[in-house]
Structure 1
Amino acid sequence: MNFKSFLNFVLIIFLFFSCSKEIEKKSIIKEKSLDLQVLEAYTEGKNSLEAGDVLYAAKKFNEAELLYPQSNWAPKSALMAAYSYYIQDYYGDSIAELERFIKIYSQNKNIDYAYYLLAVCYYEQIVDEKKDLQSIIKAKQTFNKVISDFPNTDYAIDAKYKINLINNLLASKEMYVGRYYVKKKKWIPAINRFRVVVDEYDTTIYVEEALHRLVEVYFILGLKSEAQKYANLLGYNYQSSKWYENSYSNFNKSYKKQIIEKEKKKNSILRKAKSLFDLDG
């Protein structure tokens, strides 16, 4: 190799390393720039949420997630978008975001919060136990998922409380239909409804009345042994109850239906989002 060829070889090597460093430098600058864009979008979303502009907040959180799907900010942003919709009662949008989160980020550390918020979205749509059966069923299923998969969390504790309320709603529906059948003197369908309450919702506030109604209907039908069986059960468990006292009397015409009022407020557990998704979280 002559001297000229040697110089050309050295020049090529120098240019190669120079280009590599330049590419690496540009890559680092681009990466930092992307992180900065994500942080700016997330911060803008959080500020908008605190200012009450939930739709714009959700938009910015979605933007932060899409900018850098592989970053730690992506799952945070997805959950915050769902929370933004929820806080203003856009339940359909929140549910869609949460279902997507659960599918994409199933191993994320905040998956318990996602399931809990999903259950609450269904739960808060319950207005009438006679009409909102789908919301009731989905809320109960999702709360049970929280209890079974995340038993040692605050979410599980609140889920158990809300399932008790849901069971009261379901029992209320069965009692409503059972009373209707009694008024129509359709005794067998009425018995079936009251037995559902006794067998499946025995921890609810309606079980005492259900036992009383069974005593009453069986007595009307002349099935005194069956009436006595449920009277004994009512007396053994609820001897101080008004339903025990009325077990062999006529219908209590002045009976007022007990109503379970659902508190529709953003509770302290959900407000935990502020600590979960702070910039330094």
Structure 2
Amino acid sequence: MQHKTLNHFLRIPLIIIISLMLSACSSTSTEPVIEDVKPEAELYASAMVKLEDGNYRPAIADLEAMEARYPYGRYSEQAQLELVYAYYRSSQPTAAKTAASRFIRLHPDHEHVDYAYYLKGLTAFEENVGAFDQYLGTDKAKKDPGAARDSFTDFSTLLSRFPNSEYAADSRVRMVYLRNLLAKHEIHVANYYLSRNAWLAAANRGKYVVENYQLTPAVEDALKVMVQAYTELGLLDNASNAQQVLAANFGDPSSANEAAIDESQDVFEQRSWFKRLTFDLFE
């Protein structure tokens, strides 16, 4: 009798434990949460408001959601283009250039594909300039020219394909700046070779500037590099030819008055070739 009573009392806690376990299972098993998916038009409107207010990262979240949920929607192409702009303004250059390249690849005949080229070039342009260069006095010609070359290529493609684009004028002026910058970079490299007595390498850099960056201020320095390098190499005819071209186009470099003019900022305005190159838009 006692044994039967003991078994009875043992069953009670066991039943309680099983009941608690079943209760716990039932309480943790919830219905699948259905995410609140906004309509495409509402997402697009929300992103545009955020872009106008300068809230670029929240706008990116909306635009990326549109790409994921409505890849073939009514606003999909415009959203992709706005996404490039949002990445650019939020200082995400890699994402901006990738998004621009993707838009150009997917929509080569889109009515606003010139804008994608422009934003791509502008992003690379800003990369080359650097956020703190103007405060630190950094010589941008000494930086890696990769971003400058990419920017120049994108602007060049824009002008080639869309010469009447509303972004053509600004792209043209930026190309002048970039071309001068790239030429100056070559001179920095040439001067480095001169400092290392690498005369042939220096001469080749100078020649490259003369042949590929005509009408840039760096041509004068390139000719000077060629004169020095060819003289050191014993190629006196080459040195003489470079000297004659230098004197014919830039005057006698030994003249103090001419040197003073060369160092002034107004010298470019006195050279008609520079005005023609810049269309009187760039000093």
TM-score range, shorter chain: 0.5 to 0.7
C-alpha contact 1:65 1:74 (8 A) present in aligned 2: yes
Counterparts of residues 1-281 of structure 1 (less than 5 Å): 37-127=39-129, 128-239=140-251, 244-246=252-254
C-alpha contact 1:218 1:226 (8 A) present in aligned 2: yes
Percentage identity across paired residues of the two chains: 30
Task: Return the alpha-carbon distance in structure 1 between the equivalents of residues 236 and 103 of structure 2.
Answer: 57
Provide, for residues 164-211 of structure 1, a one-character-per-residue CA deviation record: whole Å limited to 9, x for no partner: 222222212211121112122221111111111111112211101111
C-alpha contact 2:199 2:232 (8 A) present in aligned 1: no
Please state whether the residue corresponding to 1:126 is helix, strand or coil: helix
Which letter does structure 2 place at the counterpart of 1:214?
Answer: M
Please state whether the residue corresponding to 1:202 is helix, strand or coil: coil
Task: Return the alpha-carbon distance in structure 1 between the equivalents of residues 196 and 238 of structure 2.
Answer: 21
Give the structure with higher Rg (CA): 2
C-alpha contact 1:212 1:246 (8 A) present in aligned 2: no
Which letter does structure 2 place at the counterpart of 1:229?
Answer: N
Task: Return the alpha-carbon distance in structure 2 between the equivalents of residues 65 and 221 of structure 1.
Answer: 61
C-alpha contact 2:226 2:239 (8 A) present in aligned 1: yes
Please state whether the residue corresponding to 2:128 is helix, strand or coil: coil
C-alpha contact 2:40 2:73 (8 A) present in aligned 1: no
C-alpha contact 2:60 2:83 (8 A) present in aligned 1: yes
Please state whether the residue corresponding to 1:70 is helix, strand or coil: coil
Task: Return the alpha-carbon distance in structure 2 between the equivalents of residues 99 and 165 of structure 1.
Answer: 23
Task: Return the alpha-carbon distance in structure 1 between the equivalents of residues 158 and 58 of structure 2.
Answer: 30
Which letter does structure 1 place at the counterpart of 2:253?
Answer: E
Q: Give the count of matched residue pairs.
A: 214
Task: Return the alpha-carbon distance in structure 2 between the equivalents of residues 74 and 105 of structure 1.
Answer: 11
Task: Return the alpha-carbon distance in structure 2 between the equivalents of residues 53 and 233 of structure 1.
Answer: 55
Please state whether the residue corresponding to 1:171 is helix, strand or coil: helix
Task: Return the alpha-carbon distance in structure 2 between the equivalents of residues 224 and 163 of structure 1.
Answer: 36
C-alpha contact 2:51 2:59 (8 A) present in aligned 1: yes
Q: After TM superposition, which residue ranges in structure 1, 4 or more long, deviate above 6 angstroms?
A: none
Unaligned 5+ runs, structure 1 = 1-33, 259-281
Unaligned 5+ runs, structure 2 = 1-36, 130-139, 266-283
Q: By how many angstroms is 1:38 displaced?
A: 1.9
C-alpha contact 2:141 2:188 (8 A) present in aligned 1: no
Task: Return the alpha-carbon distance in structure 1 between the equivalents of residues 93 and 197 of structure 2.
Answer: 41
TM-score by length of 1: 0.68
Task: Return the alpha-carbon distance in structure 1 between the equivalents of residues 74 and 116 of structure 2.
Answer: 16
Root-mean-square deviation over aligned CA pairs:
2.7
Q: By how many angstroms is 1:92 displaced?
A: 1.4
